[in-house]
Amino acid sequence: MSSKRICNVLPSVGTNASGAMGTPLIVLLFWMLAFHGGAQAAKHEQSATEQAPENLDTITVYGESMDLSFEYKLDLGGQNAPSGDGADLLGTIPGFSLTRQGGAASDPVFRGLSGTRLNTLIDGVPYAGACNHRMDPATTYVNPGEMDDITLLRGPQSVRYGGSISGAVNFERKPMFFTQPGARFFASVSGGSFGKLDRSLDAAAGFSAGYFRISGGQSESDDYEDGDGEDVFSRYDRWNARFALGLTPDADTLFEISTERSDAEMANATVHMDATKLDRHAFSILFEKYNLSPWLKKAKVRFNRISVDHEMDDFSLRPTKELTVPFDTRQFIVMGQGWEEKSAHGSLIMEATPDVKIEAGMDYRHSDYDARALTGVDLLLPGPVLIEESRDIDKVPRNDILWFRNLGQYAELTYSASARTKWIAGLRYDRLVTSTGTMHAAGEVSTVVLSGANKRRTQHLRSGFLRLEHSFPKAPLRMAAGIGHAQRGADYWEVYSLDGFDLSRERNTELDVMFQYQGDRLSAELSFFYSKIDDFILAYNGVAASNVEAVRMGGEMALSYQLSREWTLTADIAHVYAKNITQDVPLAQTPPLTGRLGLTYSSGPYSFGLTGRFVHHQNRIHPDYGNTLAVDNDEPTPGYAVYSMEGSYKPNPHLDLAFGMDNIFDRTYYEHLNRSGSPVTGFVVDGKINEPGRSLWARLNVSLD
């Protein structure tokens, strides 16, 4: 949100995670060190305590600012192009790819890994999804218009967000502090080709003792056209609304209670059904206390409840076949899944000595899934369906299919060896209990009972990392190198959709290296990683899975060079090489080499930019193998280049107008990470789902402080 002032101040531990590895005893050792350090810290003169922000509408996070090398902070104020959900925002970051399903709900992929390998959080709360076809990846529940910033963790270089195989991403709405009565208002509306219309609102008012905040949005679109002018079945309509009430009796105390509701209908061009219901209810209680003592800097407690009631069918959104005989029949199917999660989090941030900072905490997640299905035959007449009430899935009882119980303990320590050198280490231990009910194949449509039904097992998951960060004295250059290990048990989609209850846990050991350069005109960042994953969970044709050994390596590079006061040149590139060692083949669903080149002109209230995106062909494929969302095709994916342009006009701090054109030359292309199209009456389906053709858009932001 371009109107928001954001203070990117991170907790005093030094990364956006913490952890505990091995057994809970290790966590206790961290705590003992912290309390011992508290006595030591009392002997030292403390720095000035943090003050409340002076400006009424500044969104602030308290803590010591730590420039974290493996975290990527995306300032949403710099985004011009409208974004439908969280995945659209992530797609702008080097290293990210998107797997398209239609017009919305693309699945984000980081360094070739997606799903629960990339932990996704909203306001620090872990999110998953309800649909067994992954029609609702976690980013579906993100309204970009009300988010303040995004934090991306690359690799297993932190443990606060759980065992991060690929990394973690947190979409954040910052709590608010007012020093005197005041209000803030932000509204955004955007429109574009193919009937696309997005509206978002974020309003707050308060005084020194508290505030209330109302936010929400609505987004809709018709079917888009590809570069050949063919319609792609991709229409959607979605909305969300949130209310938060915060109490701030002093500058060091926050108590917030919030509730949220959302729903959506989304056409899906890749499977034989569409999402007709994604009814979400969320409730959260947050308590934060800062500067409790000279050594205890912050205490945090959060409780959350999320429930999603999901339904999908093959007749509500998609066209039906034409009547060819007087009394024709058509089979129909309705499916539904429910997801409910209760979670709790508690953590402490401590300063054992001026050079030693510690964060330690616990997480608990209690996740329940149910499923049901209904099939039948419609008798078609020259008019409406004869017996429509037979489609009512609410008359079908819910079948409790799956339960997860996860208790995690973590700790993370930052040691400043000198003004230019830090050592950061974290450990985490998770106890994951997976229990199943009587699960049936094909999403409860079949009567076949899955092999993993009516079982229970406990897994002990361990994660940890050690990292060195160093700033060079004679150049504006920083480097970081770390080794991390993370473990992950089979998730809902792997246990249920792939019948993978007996799959072994994944274990990723990864080396990450990064260099950052910040000169007067040139800024650059280079990241490299090497990953060895034992018992990687590999899906086969969306119906089965097995464990294999895999190796991955690659990295990203981003450059920005100021040619003059007005002109700036930008470039980035990302590449992943991955191999399935067990079968001696490429690891399926690995993105190709991708790069961007951009040129921007900015002068006063005006700016204009041109960007080219260049994607290499991908011939490293393993047909019919992939992940819970997609598998590789039989043929390599061709490369392509697409160009876009955008401009903006900001006459004052309250108005921000942006406009642009994507796919200027109306190129017909599709992404390598893609699901095969499913036949839809009235639409041309030829293999993969094509991306939108040439499209225009415009956006207006209004902010009042």
- CATH code of the domain covering residue 238: 2.40.170.20
Q: Once rounded to an integer, what is the mean pLDDT over residues 51-61?
A: 32
Question: H or E stretch including 380?
Answer: strand 356-380
514 — pLDDT class (breaks 50, 70, 90): very high
Give the model confidence (pLDDT) of 160-192 as tens digits: 999 999 999 999 998 888 999 999 999 999 999
Q: Once rounded to an integer, what is the mean pLDDT over residues 287-301?
A: 97
Whole-model pTM: value is: 0.88
Looking at residue 430, its pLDDT comes to: 98
Query: What are the CA-CA distances from residue 673 to residues 119, 127, 595 (Å)?
Result: 19, 22, 16
**pLDDT above 90: residue 628:** yes
Looking at residue 47, its pLDDT comes to: 37
Give the model confidence (pLDDT) of 557-595 as tens digits: 999 999 999 999 999 999 999 999 999 999 999 999 999
List of residues 6+ apart from 581 with CB closer than 8 A = 548, 549, 550, 551
**pLDDT above 90: residue 492:** yes
Question: pLDDT averaged over the chain?
Answer: 88
Closest CA to 229 of 666, 549, 679, 670: 666
10 inside domain: no
Looking at residue 383, its pLDDT comes to: 60
Instruction: Give residue for tokens 């690359």.
Output: 154
231 inside domain: yes
6 — pLDDT class (breaks 50, 70, 90): very low
The residue type at 676: S
448 inside domain: yes
| Rounded distance between C-alpha atoms, residue 214 and residue 219, angstroms | 17
Closest CA to 102 of 623, 686, 699, 678: 678
Give the model confidence (pLDDT) of 525-558 as tens digits: 999 999 999 999 999 998 999 999 999 999 999 9
**pLDDT above 70: residue 517:** yes
58 inside domain: yes
Domain carrying residue 38: 24-704
Looking at residue 427, its pLDDT comes to: 98
18 — pLDDT class (breaks 50, 70, 90): very low
Give percent of the chain with pLDDT exceeding 90. Answer: 78
Give one DSSP letter per residue of 92-133, joined into a string.
Answer: TSTTEEEEBSSSS-PEEEETTEEGGGEEEEETTEE---S-TT
Give the model confidence (pLDDT) of 242-251 as tens digits: 999 999 999 9
**pLDDT above 70: residue 314:** yes
Looking at residue 542, its pLDDT comes to: 87
Query: What are the CA-CA distances from residue 203 to residues 40, 59, 244, 256, 695 (Å)?
Result: 45, 13, 11, 16, 31
Under DSSP, is residue 516 helix (H, G, I), strand (E, B) or coil? strand
Whether the Cβ atoms of residue 693 and residue 226 lie closer than 8 Å to each other: yes
What residues are paired with 365 via a beta bridge?
343, 406
Instruction: Could you list the beta-strand ranges (E) of 4-111.
Output: 71-75, 96-99, 107-110
Closest CA to 75 of 61, 57, 62, 93: 93
Q: How many structural domains compose the chain?
A: 1
Give the model confidence (pLDDT) of 203-212 as tens digits: 999 999 999 9
| Rounded distance between C-alpha atoms, residue 251 and residue 62, angstroms | 10
Looking at residue 69, its pLDDT comes to: 62
Looking at residue 695, its pLDDT comes to: 98
Q: Once rounded to an integer, what is the mean pLDDT over residues 615-642?
A: 95
**pLDDT above 50: residue 454:** yes
6 inside domain: no
12 inside domain: no
The residue type at 433: V
Looking at residue 77, its pLDDT comes to: 65
2 inside domain: no
Closest CA to 411 of 393, 395, 390, 429: 429
| Rounded distance between C-alpha atoms, residue 277 and residue 309, angstroms | 7
Whether the Cβ atoms of residue 674 and residue 624 lie closer than 8 Å to each other: no
477 inside domain: yes
Under DSSP, is residue 476 helix (H, G, I), strand (E, B) or coil? coil
Query: What are the CA-CA distances from residue 604 to residues 188, 565, 646 (Å)?
Result: 22, 11, 16
Comparing 52-66, 90-104, 642-656, the range with the smallest average pLDDT is: 52-66
